[in-house]
């Protein structure tokens, strides 16, 4: 069993001459992987320019959000950063390429900041959330914080497309985390 709280999920595709079919979410299958949250909102974003970067975002308790992210058009590099107070992996990150072609998904639990960068133009991303959007609980940290050191796959000399909000997020050192540590350190994606 995979005990890391962030999980890379590769749903099986069943193909024939017509194309393929896949089951992207199932309560029993996810429960077997240790994911037992209830999703209550689905989001869908379109990022037109390549190297659009969204993140690093979270919602604070009591409105925290577990997320299940997938790319349904194009390719993204998706990242989760441990922001749980007293976690031995605080400030560490994991990332994976999610694409329409590979069908992979990333489960990001409450207590992790989330972000992604598009690797080509016209990327569409969908994600399920375990709570609805709550502006009063909206938070984030800098995408380029050197203390986190995410190896974003952005070509040298390229400035990512950022929202005004993401340009002014605080550094991790200036963030007072409200997220408790649950005893499960961040592990490698498997």
Contacts of 159 (CB under 8 A, 6+ apart): none
Place of tokens 């037109």: 48
Bridge partner residues of 68 (DSSP)? 107, 128
- The predicted structure's pLDDT at residue 123: 98
User: What is the Cα–Cα distance from 114 to 67, expressed in whole angstroms?
Assistant: 9
- Between the alpha carbon of residue 3 and those of residues 6, 8, 47, the distances in Å are 9, 12, 32
- The predicted structure's pLDDT at residue 2: 55
- The predicted structure's pLDDT at residue 158: 97
Return the active site residues.
57, 127
SS3 19: strand
Q: Mean pLDDT of residues grouped by 10 in the chain (190 residues)?
A: 84 95 95 94 98 98 98 98 98 98 98 98 98 98 98 97 97 97 93
- The predicted structure's pLDDT at residue 3: 73
pTM score: 0.96
SS3 32: helix
- The predicted structure's pLDDT at residue 1: 45
- Between the alpha carbon of residue 115 and those of residues 50, 99, 170, the distances in Å are 15, 15, 15
* Whether residue 82 has a cis bond before it, omega within 30° of 0: no
Q: What are the DSSP E strand ranges found in 39-154?
A: 41-47, 53-59, 67-73, 75-82, 93-99, 105-108, 112-118, 123-129, 138-140
């Amino acid at each position: 069993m995979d005990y890391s709280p962030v999980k890379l999920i590769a749903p099986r595709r069943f193909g024939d001459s017509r194309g393929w079919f896949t089951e992207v979410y199932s309560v029993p299958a996810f429960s077997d992987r240790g994911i037992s949250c209830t999703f209550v909102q689905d989001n869908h974003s379109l990022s037109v320019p390549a190297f659009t970067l969204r993140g690093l975002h979270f919602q604070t308790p009591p409105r925290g959000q577990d997320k299940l992210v997938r790319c349904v058009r194009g390719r993204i590099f998706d990242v989760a950063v441990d922001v749980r107070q007293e976690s031995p992996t605080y400030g560490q990150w994991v990332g994976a390429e999610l694409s329409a072609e590979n069908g992979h998904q990333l489960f990001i639990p409450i207590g992790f900041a989330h972000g992604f960068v598009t690797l080509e133009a016209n990327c569409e991303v969908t994600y399920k959330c375990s709570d609805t959007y709550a502006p009063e609980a909206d938070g984030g940290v800098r995408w380029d914080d050197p203390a986190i050191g995410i190896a974003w796959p952005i070509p040298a000399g390229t400035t990512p497309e950022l929202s005004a909000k993401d340009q002014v997020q605080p550094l991790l050192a200036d963030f007072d985390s409200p997220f408790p540590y649950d005893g499960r350190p961040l592990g490698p994606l498997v």
